[in-house]
Amino acid sequence: MLDYMGIINLNEREDNIKGLTGHRPLAAVPIAGRYRMIDFALSNLVNAGVQNISIFTQNKYRSLLDHLGTGKAWDLDRKNDGLFIMNPMYDYYNLGIYRGDIENFKCHMDYLNFSKQNNVIITPSNMICNLDYWEAIKQHNETGADITIIYKKADNCTVDFQYCNTLEMDEYGRVERIDINFGNENECNVSMDMYIMKKSLFLDIVNSCVSTGYCDYFREAVYKYLHKLKIFGYGFKGYLACINSAYSYYKTSMQLLNMDISKELFFKNGLIYTKVKDEPPTKYKENARVINSLVANGCTIDGQVENSILFRSVKIKKGAVVKDSIIMQNCSIEEESRVINAILDKSVRVSKGKRIIGYADNPEIIEKKAVI
Amino acid sequence: MKKKEWIAMILAGGQGSRLTLLTKKIAKPAVYFGGKYRIIDFVLSNCSNSGIDTVGVLTQYQPLVLNSYIGIGSPWDLDRKKGGVTLLPPYVNERGGEWYKGTANAIYQNINFVDEYDPDYVVVLSGDHIYKMDYSKMLDYHKETSAEATIAVIEVPWEETCRFGIMNTGPDGRIEEFAEKPRNSKSNLASMGIYIFNWDILKKYLVEDEADPESSNDFGKNIIPKMLNSGIRLFAYPFDGYWKDVGTIESLWEANMDLLKEDNRLNLFDPKWKIYSVNAIKPPHFAGATADIKCSMVGEGCVIHGEVRNSVLFPGVYIGKDTKVIDTVVMPKVMIGENVVVERAIIGLESVINNGCRIGDSTSGSITLIGEYEQLPQGTVYI
């Protein structure tokens, strides 16, 4: 059995994607027609055989809990191990002030101590990819690294992966520098914020941060230990998207209309699991005209849809036109209306004849349950 | 075991021999329907939605797929601590054992299973039918009329009465006469094969029927006529929704096509009465730049580059460029290449139809059937 536990650390920046994270964490943002962001991180771990997975949340976690349930959809409703959700503990002493993920790890130290596995994989939820951890673990064992950070060598860093950490490595792959991508250079090694290490080391880092007050964030701790520990990079070769802004969300979604990318993302090293909704197949009516689009189950389409993603149970009425847009679950686009370059959150109704038109580099985001 | 007010017994052992190639390896209730489902999903979802939490599924013919499909019943919310779904194949005991000889014998052999829950009422259902029905309303009717047995009936066209078991009822709904496939019928109320019995009465009749060597141990042929003759209070419960027994390739095709009609009465989109199913783990379907889909139902994971008209596509179907799929039911994971024309056909699970094939005939009245896992080489013409 794989001697690894998985930690999904939801300590993620949401300030550039506020339109979609007002009432949900980034991890619970709907994506790709029927998934939530966290499905990728969860499925990658499950597909690698990790059976003990904990999710360290920040706040606004109601919709995330609803999505995860008992973990059954990911086969994580287990007698031994399975899925654990670690919400921040607010108590009298910290006055409800969030002090970074280190504090959250500290509060749940019992769980970390009691877990049987001797190694840990830490991952965020906003790195969208289909990744085989076995390859990374293999390299981790071969190099004898204390920590292996998974990164992706990208050639579009001036536009994508803004504010992600970047790594600089020596010829043996040892990490020498950690920086932030401000978009100055095209080529960069984007840190995927995925760490592989011994659990004992992870606990040491957390404990020493807590006792010295040296660092509040795990990322910060790794940075500070850079020259004390043997930290190596593992280069991931597949498709990667980092979703940390409304623009990157929109751009990534549109990339999924490329079947080569979709195929890799949904099938390559294992399937991506999500909560099932028991919707019927989508119904195309006689005026339907749908091209270059991803369409989930339960939709009823009688209008025109182009270069778009329709989530479950979307209704497109006769004469409506949807172009270059993302339409989330339960939206209704009524007769003769137009939606272009827009992201419609769940249950939005665009009434008859109305128009929502955004820009390709700045899509219009419509709030959940809005009536236009 | 805690007493249950009612439990359901689903007869799912039928072969469905007239579905030919589609039931070679699976029982009829496991046949695919409606772009996502297997036929038995309907009756299981009806049970679950009606509040029945204990269901016995009687299997016999080719049960492998059915067994693994139903599993512990979680997709239908029937994985319960007390009750839930139980698969009941024929078994041997100290006196030997035998196959289920008929529908009544199947229940007879499982009297112990039913007795364990000590129910007041037993609902006997068929796993072969497509319909949505609230059995709790039928049970209310059963109680209101103080019936000892209630049979759900549906009006059928007069010219088709000779295909059904027909009930003649009095003004109060009490069944006065029962005729199995009559030539001249006095009524057009056909039995839907849905029964509610008081368990004590049914048990008595099952035991008696078993003792009768002449009996073919069938509900329609033996049990119901015997009950009627001895003055048991039998009532007909009228149902006027969509109901279909998909016994043949033609009726299976027709039932799929019914879903595409504007005024179709089997609403799969009703959030209050969902039809549950084992969901495919696939991304949304993709309509490519050359896709043209109209009047159709499309499941998840399909990739479509061609023209689709009036068809039902199950999950994971691929349709290539310049291909036309018209009036056709395409079962899961079928690959259809480029430049293919398919009309009025049913294509079985995971078949591969290579470029340039011609399948089916729009002018013919019959339906062209391609079986499961077939490989049609390039340019095949099959009508």
* Identity of the amino acid at A158: T
pLDDT over threshold 70, residue B1: no
- Using a pLDDT cut of 90, give the percent of chain B over it: 64
pLDDT over threshold 80, residue B303: yes
Chain B interface test: which of A293, A297, A305, A316 (most B C-beta within 10 Å): A297
Q: What is residue B187's predicted lDDT score, i.e. its pLDDT?
A: 87
**Cβ contacts of B283 on chain A, cutoff 8 Å:** 32-34, 262, 266, 272, 294
Query: Of the candidates B34, B35, B291, which has its C-beta nearest A291's C-beta?
Result: B291
Question: Between chains, do B299 and A286 touch, taking CB under 8 Å as contact?
Answer: no
Q: From residue B43, give the alpha-carbon distance in Å to each of B124, B175, B181, B256, B272.
A: 11, 25, 24, 17, 16
Q: What is residue A211's predicted lDDT score, i.e. its pLDDT?
A: 85
Q: What is residue A93's predicted lDDT score, i.e. its pLDDT?
A: 61
d(CA A357, nearest CA chain B) in Å = 22
Tell me the C-alpha distance between B116 and B111, whole Å. Answer: 9
Q: Is A135 exposed, middle or buried (0-12, 13-18, 19+ CB in 10 A)?
A: middle
Average pLDDT on B66-71 reads 91
d(CA A31, nearest CA chain B) in Å = 11
Instruction: Give B353's pLDDT tier (boundaries 50, 70, 90).
Output: very high
pLDDT over threshold 80, residue B245: yes
Query: Of the candidates A266, A281, A290, which has its C-beta nearest B291's C-beta?
Result: A290
Residue burial B260-281, b: 16+ Cβ < 10 Å; e: rest: beeeeebebeeeeebbbbbbbb
Average pLDDT, chain B: 91
Query: Of the candidates A278, A286, A297, which has its C-beta nearest B294's C-beta?
Result: A286
Instruction: Give B159's pLDDT tier (boundaries 50, 70, 90).
Output: confident
Question: Between chains, do A273 and B300 touch, taking CB under 8 Å as contact?
Answer: no
Q: What is the pTM of this model?
A: 0.91
Closest CA to A136 of A147, A126, A128: A147
Instruction: Give B339's pLDDT tier (boundaries 50, 70, 90).
Output: very high
Q: What is residue A94's predicted lDDT score, i.e. its pLDDT?
A: 58
Least confidently predicted of A189-198, B62-71, B301-310:
B62-71
Helices (H) and strands (E) in chain A, counts: 10, 28
DSSP A356: E
d(CA B242, nearest CA chain A) in Å = 17
pLDDT in tens, A249-307: 999 999 999 999 999 999 998 999 999 889 999 999 999 999 999 999 999 999 999 99
A293 Cβ under 8 Å from any chain B Cβ: yes
Question: Between chains, do A284 and B293 touch, taking CB under 8 Å as contact?
Answer: yes
Q: What is residue B24's predicted lDDT score, i.e. its pLDDT?
A: 83
Question: Between chains, do B281 and A271 touch, taking CB under 8 Å as contact?
Answer: yes
Q: What is residue A372's predicted lDDT score, i.e. its pLDDT?
A: 86
pLDDT over threshold 80, residue B16: no
Low-confidence ranges of chain A (pLDDT < 50): none
Q: What is residue B23's predicted lDDT score, i.e. its pLDDT?
A: 84
Give the ipTM: 0.90
Tell me the C-alpha distance between A87 and A83, whole Å. Answer: 13
Other beta carbons within 10 angstroms of residue B378's beta carbon come to 12
Q: Following CA atoms A152, A153, A158, A161 in sequence, which dihedral angle do they give, to the nearest 10 degrees?
A: 0
Average pLDDT on B205-210 reads 91
